[in-house]
Structure 1
């Protein structure tokens, strides 16, 4: 009697613990179905749409982000540089290359907890397509660093972060040729210490 009660309790603990653990793992992971990777960047075109998988819908409900619909645009995120190292505020980076055709785009940084990085002095830690310097061939070079940089500079704080590039009113958001898009490379230039 005591043995069967113990085995029943053990089975319940394993079932509840395993179930809760798998849900936590699924909601905290970056895996989603229909993920598109373009160089250093990752996009989730079905995120926030009725076509999204159940885990993506649950993750969206937890974060309460405002996502773009399929016809509104597409958001790319990057957590690593072109060498595969995590992005860190202790390092300086150079984003170089073309931006896809879009009516408007924004580039900003989020901290490791997913919050938008705010800078002292009400300085916006973001860039947008109407206020960047372009090269003669219409590509951009942007510096991402905790220290002031010449030209296009996106300030970040120390600690790990991720970059978010949102393209608004772009044809690639509903195109099957999204894998042919070229996005800026994230090149690590130097690190403190």
Structure 2
């Protein structure tokens, strides 16, 4: 009798542990139901709508984020560079290319929980479309590094995982189903410290 009770408790512990772990992974992953990938960038276009899947709704609730509705904008997250290598704070990157049409966009570096990384430079916590320097062909080159760089520079501090969050506000791509035609900037690793 005691043996059956212990086996039942063990089975319950394994089931609860594996079930909870799989839900935690699903809520933390930047892939899965409703995700759209464009290069290294991932977006969940339905996340702020009534059509959002239960995992997307739970992700928003857990993060305490204010999800953008389809008419408001679209948010993209990158956790790897264009070569598939995980982003790290101790590495330097360039984000280069053109951005889709939007009334306004922002780019910031974030930790695993998508909280902005504090770099000690509050004015440089994020870059935005109205103050960015552009190339002659309207493309942009942004340097992400701990040390100052000429041109568009997004500082990061510390060590560990890094994510980039690119938010587009009042953009036609948010209401479009043709997201496969959208081109986003590439993320290229320049080098790493240590």
* Shared fold, TM over 0.5: yes
| 1:186 matched residue in structure 2 | 187
| 2:62 matched residue in structure 1 | 62
Provide runs of 4+ in structure 1 moved above 6 Å.
none
Matched, 1:123 2:123: yes
**Aligned-partner SS, 1:130:** coil
C-alpha contact 1:118 1:124 (8 A) present in aligned 2: no
Note the 1:169-180 alignment, pairs <5 A. 169-180=170-181
| 1:165 matched residue in structure 2 | 166
| 2:23 matched residue in structure 1 | 23
C-alpha contact 2:34 2:53 (8 A) present in aligned 1: no
TM-score of the superposed pair, with normalisation by structure 2 = 0.91
Backbone CA RMSD of aligned residues: 1.7
2: CA distance, partners of 1:145 / 1:182? 24
Note the 1:1-193 alignment, pairs <5 A. 1-159=1-159, 160-193=161-194
Q: Which has the larger radius of gyration?
A: 1
C-alpha contact 2:95 2:141 (8 A) present in aligned 1: yes
Measured after TM superposition, the shift of residue 124 of structure 1 is: 3.0
Measured after TM superposition, the shift of residue 92 of structure 1 is: 1.4
1: CA distance, partners of 2:162 / 2:192? 14
Consecutive unaligned residues of structure 1, counting only runs of 5 or more, are none
C-alpha contact 2:26 2:32 (8 A) present in aligned 1: no
